[in-house]
Amino acid sequence: MSGDEEKNGHLKKLEKAEENLQLFKTDLLDYEGLCAAITGCTGVFHVACPVPSQTTLPNPEARLTLPHPAKVNKVVLVSSVGAVMLNPSWPKDQAMDENCWTDKDYCKTIEMWYCMGKTVAESEALDFAKRNELNIVTVCPSIVIGPMLQSTLNASSLLLLNYLKDGKDSVQDDRNNPIVDVRDVAEALLLAYEKPEAEGRYICSSYMIRARALVEKLKTLFPNYNYPKNFSEAKEGPELSSKKLQNLGWKFRPLEESIVDAVQNFEQSGLLGKD
């Protein structure tokens, strides 16, 4: 299988892909290549952003700026709650909403370049929209779980997979995990695109659950895995509010459905060593 097939083969299996899907080879940092891909489009979904994997990059912010598509009616940009949650100045007793932005100086202090990159990309995109009268809406998902289309494992799915495979001797941080189903994220993106009243940014998160409670729920649904039993204490994390997105018409499925579908997908994909 070629490299392109490994990356994109699952897309070609989508319903009516043969008639409706066109794939373009380009680079997110190649402005001309992006323009060629979106020429003639009325809308663009920007669902990926390059991020540095090492903190030794001389200027990680410079590599994370959103390429600026033009001549489209609407752009929906997928950001992250990483652009929301790292704000030590936000009132502790107040749920974080779209007015809360991650503190970039704080990110530099703790070398959290992913969150820094998402914050820079989203804020620059919204600023660009204001300056150029371009309609950009941003959606900030939390940890995305659920069944995968692709055959390779993505980072957010590791949350559940690690709990299923880490074993009884591992020690897990009993932190709060903000979670959302991948299919509910897709619905949020469609709402942001299709609703004329959609504007600004939208937090997209369904549940906040502690690691220990999540493991207990996994054990109830799938009792035959070797789950961690030891958890270290963690500070209470901030709550997230998706009220603005819900007011747009967004609904999300039960957490149990997301967990069951995700784990069954892991099993079917061979990621858990089962047929």
Q: Listing from the earlier edge strand, what are the strands of the sheet with 143-145?
A: 143-145, 176-181, 207-210
3-state secondary structure of 5: helix
| Tokens standing for residue 144 | 């995305």
Whether residue 68 contacts residue 131, with contact meaning beta carbons closer than 8 Å, is answered with no
Task: Answer for the pair 240, 177: CB distance below 8 angstroms, yes or no.
Answer: no
Residue for token pair 């069944």: 147
Spatial distance between the Cα atoms of 136 and 125, rounded to a whole number of angstroms: 7
The SS3 assignment for 4 reads helix
Q: Do the strands 200-204 and 136-141 form a parallel or antiparallel pair, or are they unpaired?
A: parallel
The one catalytic residue among 108, 118, 130, 219: 118
Distance CA 228, CA 184 (A): 28
The stretches of 133-269 forming alpha helices (DSSP H) are 158-165, 182-194, 211-221, 243-247, 255-269
Catalytic residue status for 118: yes
Measure the CA angle with vertex 230, ends 224 and 233; round to 5°: 135
Q: Give the chain's length.
A: 275
- Would you please indicate which residues are annotated as catalytic (active-site) residues? 118
